[in-house]
Amino acid sequence: MEIDDAELKSACEHLGADFEILRGKKCPYCKGETKYVDSSLVYGRSYGMMYLCEPCDAYVGVHHKTSKESLGSVAKGELRNWRKQAHAAFDPIAYERRKNWNRREAYSWLRKKMGIPKALCHIGMFSVNRCKKVIEICKKTPWNE
């Protein structure tokens, strides 16, 4: 789902979260400014643009290859791996359209289960613990409950 900047800003103000970090512009590890670079810098071939903190080896992709809209905050290897696993658990629920759910409904279900506001319910913003929770929640899909 696309991130709504206005909603996110307001949620950050309420919760004391750092908008620049959640947007991938600032590194949560060293608090330095990230760089908007081509992903070939990391992968050797290009999959589009990304935000990167080189000293921390932390990065995050963008919504569309050339967009400036990050998928969330930059992450180091372990967290990137957990986010991948959370997506692997959740994406079938969001995209397989069982129960005739669309993505909006799938995300709405997820955020109620997670108990977090809409603006912050993006796997690209999640910590390792939140990713683990996503995986746990998705094991109990509504059609299996």
Interacting residues toward Zn ion by CB under 5 A: 27, 29-30, 32, 53, 56
In whole angstroms, give the CA distance from residue 116 to residue 94: 18
Q: Minimum distance between the CB of residue 137 and Zn ion, rounded to whole angstroms? A: 30
**Length of the chain as a residue count:** 145
Q: How far is the CB of 18 from Zn ion (least distance, A)?
A: 13
CB nearer to Zn ion: pick between 39 and 73: 73
Cα dihedral: 138, 49, 51, 69 (round 10): -70
Torsion angle in degrees (nearest 10) through CA of 12, 13, 19, 21: -70
Asked if 76 and 56 touch (Cβ cutoff 8 Å), the reply is yes
CB closer to Zn ion out of 17 and 56: 56
Q: How far is the CB of 76 from Zn ion (least distance, A)?
A: 9
- Pick the closer one to Zn ion by CB: 11 or 27: 27
